């Protein structure tokens, strides 16, 4: 039976990070982290993209938990219900360290009850995928599988610029949820517009100025706060080349971020990567085709 609650986690520098959890929690499963067939149980950690939240996975957490997986969906620092950094520190290496701290809490190596055998599969979309690559590089012995959602190491500049423009495009907020929905529809023209604003409301907050603002810290998206693109590419190339665990790339064919050339470069670094293409999805592939996405991740976790 699937259960859900919110965890409050402590990041490396003391920030409060919030996550949702589904399935058998660590310590609650039969066999203390070992499945009925004697195989270590799996914890799947879902890492969202920039400007998104843990809610961007829609029903994926529930579907994965129903298959017997322990699932944790994290809000990165500066996103959703997690704390914003008072020092405006949001680099990839900092996010990596946050995820390492989360892993230590939700799937500890030493608990006295055998949880060190718990398998971890990282599922990362866009920014979350970049972070997952760095985490896998840092603790390869802990990661049993890696799923990257429409992210490679070399991205299309025009697509990256479009995302950044959207992230910074409403500094004064929106006068209503309907106005915000119009902005999202213009940003995601391939997706059928959702008339139910409940999901959108999870990503916005009504502030004292009476306007709706995205619930992320815009400081992290200013170009001036980011390292040079070539530095990021070199960091990600190095991390990708070091990956040895089973890896799957879920690519949205309508993506303007990941190109065929980018995929081929990624293959040159990581020859064993499995490519799954979603015909009707774009860069937001997990949300664009959530049912298919959840199915392929469940099947991957069974094989990894």
Tokens representing 91?
Answer: 């680099």
User: Is pLDDT larger for residue 10 or for residue 69?
Assistant: 69
pLDDT at 112 exceeding the cut of 70: no
Instruction: Look up the domain containing 98 and give its range.
Output: 4-156+229-303
Residue pair 255/159 in contact (Cβ under 8 Å)? The answer is yes
Tokens representing 40?
Answer: 């270590």
pLDDT band for position 25 (cuts 50, 70, 90)? low
Residue pair 50/164 in contact (Cβ under 8 Å)? The answer is no
Residue-wise DSSP of 191-207: SPPP---HHHHTTEEE-
pLDDT of residue 146: 98
Mean pLDDT, residues 18-29 taken together:
71
The verdict on residue 8 lying in a domain is yes
pLDDT of residue 194: 73
195-49-211 Cα angle (round to 5): 50
pLDDT band for position 9 (cuts 50, 70, 90)? low
The verdict on residue 221 lying in a domain is no
Structurally, the chain folds into a number of domains equal to 1
| H-only helix segments in 175-284 | 177-187, 198-201, 229-242, 260-269
CA distance 44 to 248: 14
CA distance 17 to 98: 9
CA distance 124 to 137: 14
- Measured in whole angstroms, the distance separating CA 247 from the mean position of its chain's CA atoms is 15
The verdict on residue 218 lying in a domain is no
pLDDT of residue 202: 86
Mean pLDDT, residues 36-65 taken together:
85
- Report the relative pairing of strands 247-252 and 274-278 from DSSP bridges: parallel
pLDDT of residue 28: 43
Mean pLDDT, residues 248-261 taken together:
96
The verdict on residue 249 lying in a domain is yes
Calculate the average pLDDT of the chain: 87
Residue pair 257/156 in contact (Cβ under 8 Å)? The answer is yes
H-run or E-run covering 213: strand 212-214
CA distance 141 to 163: 34
SS3 readout for 27-54: CCCCCCCECCCCCECEEEEEECCCCCCH
The verdict on residue 127 lying in a domain is yes
Q: Out of 74-78, 109-113, 147-151, which region has the weakest mean confidence (pLDDT)?
A: 109-113
pLDDT of residue 210: 95
Rg of the chain (C-alpha set): 18
pLDDT of residue 238: 98
Residue 119: helix, strand or coil by DSSP?
strand
User: Is pLDDT larger for residue 194 or for residue 45?
Assistant: 45
The verdict on residue 148 lying in a domain is yes
The verdict on residue 209 lying in a domain is no
Residue pair 144/119 in contact (Cβ under 8 Å)? The answer is yes
140-109-17 Cα angle (round to 5): 85
Residue pair 252/284 in contact (Cβ under 8 Å)? The answer is yes
pLDDT of residue 110: 52
Convert the pLDDT of each residue in 161-215 to its tens digit. 999 999 989 999 999 999 999 999 999 988 877 777 888 888 899 999 999 999 9
Convert the pLDDT of each residue in 256-272 to its tens digit. 999 999 999 999 999 99
Dihedral pair phi/psi, residue 249, rounded to 5°: -110, 120
CA distance 35 to 132: 25
pLDDT of residue 10: 66
pLDDT of residue 41: 80
Question: In residues, how long is the chain?
Answer: 304
The verdict on residue 71 lying in a domain is yes
CATH of the domain at 55: 3.40.50.1820
Residue 167: helix, strand or coil by DSSP?
helix
Q: Which residues pair with 165 in a beta bridge?
A: none
Convert the pLDDT of each residue in 119-136 to its tens digit. 899 999 999 999 999 999
């Amino acid at each position: 039976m699937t259960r859900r609650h919110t965890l409050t986690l402590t990041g490396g520098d003391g920030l409060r990070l919030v996550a949702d959890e589904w399935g058998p929690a660590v310590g609650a499963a039969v066999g203390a982290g070992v499945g009925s067939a004697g195989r270590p149980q799996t914890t799947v950690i879902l890492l969202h993209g920039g400007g998104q939240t843990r809610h961007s996975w829609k029903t994926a957490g529930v579907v994965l938990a129903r298959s017997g997986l322990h699932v944790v969906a994290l809000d990165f620092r500066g996103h959703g219900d997690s704390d914003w950094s008072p020092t405006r520190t949001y680099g990839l290496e900092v996010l990596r360290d946050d995820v390492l701290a989360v892993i230590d809490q939700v799937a500890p190596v030493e608990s006295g009850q055998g949880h060190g055998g718990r398998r971890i599969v990282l599922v990362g979309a866009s920014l979350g995928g970049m972070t997952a690559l760095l985490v896998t590089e840092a603790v390869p012995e802990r990661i049993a599988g890696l799923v990257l959602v429409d992210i490679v190491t070399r991205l299309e500049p025009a697509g990256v610029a479009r995302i950044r423009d959207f992230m910074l495009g409403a500094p004064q907020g929106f006068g209503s949820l309907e106005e915000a929905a119009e902005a999202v529809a213009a940003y995601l023209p391939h997706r059928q517009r959702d008339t139910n604003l409940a999901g959108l409301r999870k990503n916005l907050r009504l502030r004292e100025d009476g306007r709706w603002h995205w619930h992320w810290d815009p400081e992290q998206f200013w170009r001036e706060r980011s390292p040079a693109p070539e530095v990021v590419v070199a960091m990600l190339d190095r991390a990708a080349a070091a990956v040895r665990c089973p890896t799957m790339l879920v690519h949205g064919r309508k993506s303007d971020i990941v190109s065929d050339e980018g995929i081929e470069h990624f293959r040159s670094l990581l020859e064993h990567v499995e490519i799954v293409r979603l015909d009707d999805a774009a860069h937001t592939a997990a949300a664009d085709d959530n049912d298919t996405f959840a199915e392929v991740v469940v099947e991957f976790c069974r094989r990894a």
